[in-house]
Amino acid sequence: MKASGVFAWAIAIVWLLGYEWWALATHHESLSRAVWTLTTAWPPLIFLIGLVVGGLVVHFWWRWDPRNSNKGA
């Protein structure tokens, strides 16, 4: 993985952890509570989230072997 990719993942993880810490420390809505609220208000959202996650899993891992690929990892 290129350094820019590692840096982008690190920023995303730090941002999410920072937001969760801030939300819990200040008694604001956390990400998990926001998802619960949204899916309670509109239950089909659970299905759509599942489609997105499943699509990403298939996109990233279905029939791909980095040892036999010339595209690199």
Q: pLDDT class for 70, splitting at 50, 70, 90?
A: low
Q: What is the mean pLDDT of residues 8-12?
A: 94
pLDDT at residue 36 tops 90: yes
| Residues 28-50, mean pLDDT to the nearest whole number | 96
CA atoms of 11 and 3, how far apart (whole Å): 12
Is 60 exceeded by the pLDDT of residue 73?
Answer: no
Q: Tally the C-alpha atoms within 13 A of residue 59's C-alpha that lie toward its C-beta.
A: 6
- Which residues are CB-contacts of 72 (< 8 A; sequence separation ≥ 6)? 66
pLDDT, residue 71, reads 62
Percent of the chain whose predicted confidence (pLDDT) is above 70: 89
